[in-house]
Structure 1
């Protein structure tokens, strides 16, 4: 059971405040009876809710993982006419929104949903869900330089949280290396700025995991729906990571 105005807002009737006004004006009915109390609760799966005589539509919740290509905007539109992530979601009727962002030049795992509470849980800074990237950087950073990232490094917007960092590959001929880095924040261009701070700029960046969710072999430009278990695991991880939460040991 949920508050009526919340159900209406989630169904796209109007903002929650406007939905409250509609209730107070006597324009909302639940199972044929007019409701004017803001504390009224209903079950959207069982109750018939109408606004001005028209039944509200309950949009199906959608949770999607996209392997975002490089050169794509994480936005609903782009005035410059560049490709946007929704161009790769033609099979999805519902309107979904990205959880966080990936830069234009960054590729990899991007989550999209129409579930606002789920999106807020994963993207809010206080929940600290870990995200792992493969960064191809210029040169080969010394261990002491990577230790700076492990300890937290000062950027123009403050000190970062400690990151998990390890070498994955070194290409001495092209004078570059591939490094795995896991961060627990979501600042703008954070990974790129962290490597710039140790004088090893990023040449290519790919997100390969979000919490326990792995990109694995999903091809570039394709998407898949998350399973119920994956959705639940992400939610539990976020709640456990919240300050004061009670994280469970991983099996």
Structure 2
């Protein structure tokens, strides 16, 4: 790749692709490995490549568009959808069921098949990556229905973190909202959001989760958004909450 600048001012090719709204940075690196990206007429074989404004970039034979205006949407994910662009088992996905009129979007993190509630969507893969990082420290809040009534002391102990099957989970706040028959609704808050974290922690305490609704992600609230609908975050709010060209400042724990 002698025609591609490696050590001059510019940005990594994967970051450029993500900012164009084409894919996430991780997907960009995979596409490069698959030989789907060309720079200045040569097939790229490594993501360790810095490109400048004058470099000609082709992805799947098509010119890479310039960086799109960053947009963020709040989406009320219903149960029964996978948060993936393509499911190997053929299950329905979030991206097959979005309202018409949206550009290609990427989710900020995931909600599993049976979980519902707030999912952030953006056309900027670089932004999605930044908002997923644990260093943002953004609080994720959930309403969780479990069987039985968890012991108050057990919920309090979660604030110190817990280790389950050699996986360390950070501090979690959990309190009883109300009891309903044989079930209890909890309000749960956490900052890491590891895979199936809430379900695994509750199972560790002896309580199966029968419903899980994410109500907030950092400063963004689910509010009254109906299942399957989206609401765009105004540009002014996006700038205030996220800033321009920088990740959100870590929140205090």
TM-score (norm: length of structure 1): 0.74
How many equivalent pairs are there? Answer: 222
Between the aligned partners of 2:10 and 2:128, the Cα distance in structure 1 is 20
Q: Aligned Cα RMSD in Å?
A: 3.3
Task: Identify if the C-alpha distance between structure 1 residues 238 and 185 changes in structure 2 by more than 3 Å, giving closer, same or farther.
Answer: farther
Between the aligned partners of 1:51 and 1:77, the Cα distance in structure 2 is 26
For residue 41 of structure 1, report the CA deviation from its aligned partner: 5.3
Between the aligned partners of 2:194 and 2:86, the Cα distance in structure 1 is 22
Task: Identify if the C-alpha distance between structure 1 residues 82 and 41 changes in structure 2 by more than 3 Å, giving closer, same or farther.
Answer: closer
Q: Which runs of 5+ in 1 are unaligned?
A: 26-37, 43-47
Whether 1:144 and 2:153 are equivalent positions in the alignment is: yes
Bigger Rg over Cα:
1
Q: Which residue of 2 aligns with 1:31?
A: none
Q: How does 1:203-222 map to 2 (within 5 A)?
A: 203-222=210-229
Whether 1:224 and 2:231 are equivalent positions in the alignment is: yes
Between the aligned partners of 2:78 and 2:51, the Cα distance in structure 1 is 46
TM-score (norm: length of structure 2): 0.74
For residue 23 of structure 1, report the CA deviation from its aligned partner: 4.5
Whether 1:85 and 2:94 are equivalent positions in the alignment is: yes
Whether 1:57 and 2:57 are equivalent positions in the alignment is: no
Whether 1:69 and 2:78 are equivalent positions in the alignment is: yes
Q: Is the 8 A contact 1:213 1:230 kept in 2?
A: no
Task: Identify if the C-alpha distance between structure 1 residues 139 and 185 changes in structure 2 by more than 3 Å, giving closer, same or farther.
Answer: same
For residues 11-41 of structure 1, what are the alpha-carbon distances to aligned partners after superposition, in whole Å with 9 as ceiling and x for unaligned? Answer: 459968899973597xxxxxxxxxxxx9885
Q: How does 1:133-172 map to 2 (within 5 A)?
A: 133-171=142-180
Q: Is the 8 A contact 1:134 1:179 kept in 2?
A: yes
Task: Identify if the C-alpha distance between structure 1 residues 21 and 164 changes in structure 2 by more than 3 Å, giving closer, same or farther.
Answer: same
Q: Which runs of 5+ in 2 are unaligned?
A: 1-8, 43-48
Match of 1:175 among 169, 182, 199: 182
